[in-house]
Amino acid sequence: DIQMTQSPSFLSASVGDRVTINCKASQNINRYLNWYQQKLGEAPKLLIYNANSLQTGIPSRFSGSGSGTDFTLTISSLQPEDVATYFCLQHNSWPYTFGAGTKLELK
């Protein structure tokens, strides 16, 4: 199985900060990496699909990069509504696997 190592587990940042979250795959997953935002009690929301494609309706401050084994989610200017848990998903091969999540809080 492909292991997804996500870092950091916790992140505290101020409004306006640039924030980066990383996922590293244990083997090549090409660009089949998605990023999700999950707020308490809500359905996970797709932010970025296939490494760098912004899902419709998602603010442009969210971006994704990477290919192969190393991927990054960037929030260019943190907003209060971005407080949430973020996780990655590899959908290159079965079993699909997830990162452990990053809890993002406001400083």
Partner 1 sequence: QVQLKETGPGLVQPTQTLSITCTVSGFSLTSYYMQWVRQTPGKGLEWMGFIRSGGSTEYNSEFKSRLSISRDTSKNQVFLKMNSLKTEDTGVYYCAREGRGGFDYWGQGVMVTVSS
Sign of CA dihedral 101, 78, 57, 53: negative
- How crowded is residue 48: how many other Cβ atoms within 10 Å of its Cβ? 24
Identity of the residue, 26 or 77, whose beta carbon is nearer to partner 1 in the bound complex: 26
- Is 41 a binding residue for partner 1 by CB under 8 A? The answer is yes
- Is 50 a binding residue for partner 1 by CB under 8 A? The answer is yes
Identity of the residue, 32 or 78, whose beta carbon is nearer to partner 1 in the bound complex: 32
- Is 58 a binding residue for partner 1 by CB under 8 A? The answer is no
Shortest Cβ distance from residue 50 to partner 1 (Å)? 5
Structure tokens at 64: 């994704």
Shortest Cβ distance from residue 24 to partner 1 (Å)? 16
Give the type of residue at 20.
T
Q: Nearest 5°: CA angle at 60, between 15 and 91?
A: 105
- Is 87 a binding residue for partner 1 by CB under 8 A? The answer is yes
Q: Which of 10, 65, 70, 100 binds partner 1 (CB under 8 A)?
A: 100
Name every residue whose Cβ is closer than 8 Å to that of residue 43 and which is 6 or more positions away in sequence: none
Q: What is the distance, to the nearest Å, from the Cα of residue 31 to the centroid of all Cα atoms in its chain?
A: 13
Binding site for partner 1 (CB under 8 A): 32, 34, 41-46, 49-50, 53, 55, 87, 89, 91, 94-98, 100-101
